[in-house]
Amino acid sequence: MQIATDSPQALTAIRTDLGAIFVSMELSRSIWLITSLLPGSGEKLSKHVVRAGDIAGLMARFTQLRAKARARTGCSYPIIVIQEAGLDGFWIHRVLCKEGIESHVVDPASIATSRRRRRAKTDRIDGEALVRALLAHKRGEPRVCAMVRVPTPEEEDRRRICRERKVLLADRIRHVNRLKGLLFAQGVTGYQPLRRDRRERLEELMTGDGRPLPMHLKVQIGRELDRLELLLEQIRAVESERDTLLAAEPTAMPAPAAMLLDIKGIGPEFAAILWSEGLFRHFANRREVAAYAGLAPTPWQSGSVDREQGVSKAGNPRLRTALIQLAWLWIRNQPQSALTHWYQQRVRLNGGRLKKSTVVALARKLLVALWKYVTAGVIIEGVVMKAA
């Protein structure tokens, strides 16, 4: 078989006739590397550096790219930009959209890379890979990369309440453990720093060898209690703000957070996390729901080898953690539901083993059931609702 080689135009590996200027942005704290592909330039990629945060310089560079493409082809082309989701958040994407520029934010873990043990990685190589991924995405190639659904500023701001509370709880645990450790070194056990009479009980404590607490140790513990009480006050303020938000939620339609609160076993914290971290988004099917939470299965199949590697853990870790905690509580608070019966039957078939892996599967089923409940009003079979 012979291949014709007398074609008037040489075939290129990259299609550049998509009618746009494709630009990738490699972001860092000091510089932004701009990699661009202009129409009519073949496979040649141009690279320029802009100081980090310099939006005016970025727009000036885009103007130069448009002028260069117009001088080369005689036509005016739009600019399509791609960047990785990272520490810069979504403010650059919002600025570009406000300027009328088509912008995409990609999940960096979804871009295919070399599987060599020592693969080369530089901003230059990553910028070129982003441009190729953007080209393939605009050509309509499926599964070439995963574009991030950028939340609105209101959606992004709303989920800060639950995230701040989690940080404050972690700080509270550290302070409580530090207090108990200081006292344990003196032979004192049983002291509970979270009790309201913590300062009164501190005056009554004696060391293990019958001495009063040393002066400097008592002063240190007092300062530690000051920090702990400030944390407790901030936690109460955050929880009050969360409850106020949930109370205002029924004014919106279809009030999914309020619907979650109607189910026995789901309190304000779980309802806020489920809604702000995941269920506010639009999903096409149950597979997308499970994948977003990182609860989708990960098979390993090749020839006669067929094994399951567990859940992917590639989604929202906060939502996944909350769902697994809720799954354990669901068994206790909803013993007559169909999901609990399914869990108990699977555990019996396994001879009482594999409870942890089974509860992860229950968390996936529970997430899908709650998604159907808040979006389509499908009541979970056998679920008990709270009394009015």
Instruction: Tell me what the mean pLDDT of segment 127-153 comes to.
Output: 92
pTM metric for this prediction: 0.81
* Residue 23 β-bridge partners: 36, 81
- Reference 85, options 3, 25, 34; nearest CA is 25
DSSP 8-state symbol, 277: I
CA separation for the pair 212, 219 (Å, rounded): 13
pLDDT score recorded for residue 209 = 92
Contacts of 261 (CB under 8 A, 6+ apart): 246, 267, 268, 271, 386
No. of helices (H) and no. of strands (E), the chain: 13, 7
Q: In the structure encoding, which two tokens stand for residue 221, read together?
A: 């513990």
pLDDT for 228 beyond 90:
yes
Reported as a pLDDT band with limits 50, 70 and 90, residue 252 is: very low
Closest alpha carbon to 279 in 313, 239, 319, 246: 319
* Amino acid code (one letter) for 290: A
- Nearest partner of 107 among 152, 149, 148, judged by Cα: 148
Q: Is the pLDDT of residue 216 over 90?
A: yes
Quickly list DSSP for 352-367.
Answer: T--HHHHHHHHHHHHH
The pLDDT assigned to 250 comes to: 54
4 CA to centre of own chain: 51
Q: What fold characterizes domain 21-150? A: Nucleotidyltransferase; domain 5 (3.30.420)
Among candidate residues 254, 269, 218, the one with its CA nearest the CA of residue 374:
254
Contact partners, residue 214, CB within 8 Å, separation at least 6: 186
Placement of tokens 């704290």 in the chain: 29
| Per-residue pLDDT band at 2 (split at 50, 70, 90) | very low
Q: Which amino acid, one-letter code, is at 10? A: A
Backbone φ and ψ of 268, nearest 5°: -60, -40
Among the ranges given (91-95, 121-125, 256-260), the one the predictor scored with the smallest mean pLDDT: 256-260
Strands 102-106 and 297-302: unpaired
Q: Is it the case that residue 201 has pLDDT exceeding 60?
A: yes
d(CA 359, CA 347): 9
Place of tokens 């609702």: 385
Cis peptide before 254 (omega within 30 of 0): yes
Task: Tell me the pLDDT tens digit for each residue of 311-347.
Answer: 888 889 999 999 999 999 999 999 999 999 999 999 9
Helix (H) or strand (E) holding 305: strand 305-311
Task: State the pLDDT at residue 160.
Answer: 92
Q: Dihedral of CA 71/75/78/80: which sign?
A: negative
Span between the terminal Cα atoms of the chain, in Å: 78
- Both structure tokens of 40: 């009519």
CB 148 within 8 A of CB 266: no
User: What is the Cα–Cα distance from 268 to 303, expressed in whole angstroms?
Assistant: 48
- Reduced to 3 states (helix: H, G, I; strand: E, B; else coil), residue 50 is strand
What residues pair up with 385 in beta bridges, in sequence order? 263
